[in-house]
Amino acid sequence: MLSVREQERYRRQVLLFGEEGQERLKNARIFIAGAGGLGCPIALYLAVAGIGTITIADKDVVEQTNLNRQILHYDRDIGRKKTVSAEEKLREANPDIRVDAIDTTIDAGNVSRLVGRSDGIVDAMDNYSTRYMLNETAIAKKIPLFHGAIRGLHGQATTIIPGETACLACIFPHAPPQEVFPVIGVTPGFIGMVQATEVIKYLTGQGNLLTNRLLIWDGMESRAEELSVERNPACSACCRGGKTTPGEKIR
């Protein structure tokens, strides 16, 4: 049941998906991997939307160079753990939700436990090795993965429903080279909003998800396009054409 305060807080979005939809958000648990450029706006908007339990994991300390885009961290937070900073702001933004901020490096040994009984995983990472781990965890737990990535004024996003849609390894079997990427806050803001919108749609059962489609945003041209993607029968992560059965690597 929504409290009187919650009914008031969410009144304008209850117009969109009813109290039942809001209850679904309240009962949901979402795991956000990363409290950086993507993770900050995603966590903030999911918090104010009333996602009942948000778990956010990050290993880093706030640095001055983060502040052009990582909008949960302020100048006064430089030197503090990102998890501490993020948790503080999210609690202030919405005291009616639960926030678990975990200061750790996501690795193969802890990823399954970190995700726990979450209803979905949000990919707000900055590297593909962790992304592939999140993908395998999503497959093993049969929960969606909401992917996003950015560089400069360019971004991409897709939603993965294990067993039904192309997975991250079907779409990107090989990681691009690592680099110190250029970025301005509006790009992870934009892509993060696509991801957060997908989470809310998934949880409330509304609309058409961004599945089997890779959304590509070119901020320089102000153009959004789509590439159609499909499951790869030889995918090593989600299909039996690979060497392992689905989710075998991580449980």
Nearer CB in complex with another protein: 25/125 = 125
Nearer CB in complex with another protein: 51/134 = 134
Q: How far is the CB of 207 from another protein (least distance, A)?
A: 23
Residue among 193, 80, 113, 210 nearest 158 (CA): 210
Taking the C-alpha atoms of residue 241 and residue 8, their distance in angstroms, rounded to an integer, is 51
Q: How far is the CB of 7 from another protein (least distance, A)?
A: 35
Q: How far is the CB of 84 from another protein (least distance, A)?
A: 20
Nearer CB in complex with another protein: 16/175 = 175
Is residue 211 packed enough to be buried (19+ CB in 10 Å), middle (13-18) or exposed (0-12)?
A: middle
Q: Which residues bind another protein (CB under 8 A)?
A: 34, 36-39, 123-128, 148-152, 154-156, 171-179, 181, 183, 188, 216, 218, 220, 227-230
In DSSP terms, 11 is beta-bridged to none
Nearer CB in complex with another protein: 38/121 = 38
3-state helix, strand, coil in the chain (%, to 5): 35, 20, 40
Per-residue buried b or exposed e for 160-189, using 16+ beta carbons within 10 Å of the residue's own CB: bbbeebbbbbbbbeeeeeeeeeebebebbb
Nearer CB in complex with another protein: 109/177 = 177
